[in-house]
Homo-oligomer: A and B are copies of this chain.
Amino acid sequence: MRPSGRAADEMRHVVLEPDVSKHAEGSCLARFGDTHVLCTASIDEGVPGFMRGSGRGWVTAEYGMLPRATHTRGAREAARGRQGGRTLEIQRLIGRSLRAVTNLQGFGERSIQIDCDVIQADGGTRTAAITGAYVALYQAFDFMRIAKAIQQIPLTDSVAAVSCGLVNGEPVLDLDYEEDSSAQADANFVLTGKGQIVEVQATAESEPFDRATFDNLLTLAERGVAELTQAQHAAIQGG
């Protein structure tokens, strides 16, 4: 029995609320239970120097967490004067995940900057961030389409992410903070709407695990992402 009372293959209550920002071209507040991540997409004319003249656009991401998003307050990264390794790792992951489903040739030499800021954390912030960021990115492209800057939305598939882990020896889907803290293994899967793999990050927390366990985690993730894909579809339709 999981602390939250959920079944092993049951996601938390997921809400993807699009269009929450007055200013951003695309935005989504992604809630996986008590984990709340605000995702915005900002369009900028021009690309970084190394891409100029290529005719291609760029999608990149930054990630942050409010200091008291967590159980105990964490230091503010701006005050410490640098982003930690975990932050850099997550924002690189978000950027790669979105670019894997984006046709960079399809929107000219423009940059889309994704910002994922964790307003409240209860485990799985990076997976909520990727899932919400996709909705914000879609919205930003839709903004460009409506403004006639592009003819069609340059996305080849949708992308979403979920965590799975081995808790008390059992594979479970979508860990909250309590489970995450005691998991023997922890894996984040980024999959497309069609079920293809974009990124896998699996880590043995306390002791190594076998290949069969890994397979079970991946199977759970496929189920979770299918549900998230539906929620993304609904958010975009209603946006």
Given A89-B85, A89-B89, A199-B202: A66 and B78 interface contact (C-beta under 8 Å): no
Of B24, B66, B81, B120, which one neighbours A81 at CB under 8 angstroms?
B81
Cβ–Cβ < 8 Å partners of A92 in chain B: 85-86, 89
**Contact string against B for A residues 61-99, beta-carbon threshold 8 Å, 1 for contact and 0 otherwise:** 010101111111100111111111111110110001000
Is B82 in contact with A82, judged by CB distance below 8 angstroms? yes
Of B34, B79, B96, B210, which one neighbours A83 at CB under 8 angstroms?
B79
Report the Cα distance A26→B83, complex, angstroms.
Answer: 26
A214 interface contact, C-beta 8 A: yes
**Chain A interface bracket (under 10, 10 to 19, 20 to 34, 35 or more):** 35 or more
Given A68-B21, A100-B207, A218-B211: A62 and B76 interface contact (C-beta under 8 Å): yes
- Interface of chain A: mostly helix, strand, loop or mixed: mixed
A230 interface contact, C-beta 8 A: no
Cβ–Cβ < 8 Å partners of A44 in chain B: 73
Residue of B nearest to A76 (CB): B62
Q: How far is the CB of A110 from chain B (nearest CB, A)?
A: 13
| Residues on A facing B (Cβ under 8 Å) | 21-24, 27, 34, 38, 40, 42, 44, 62, 64, 66-73, 76-89, 91-92, 96, 100-101, 113, 115, 117, 119-120, 122, 156-157, 187, 191-192, 194-204, 207-211, 213-214, 218
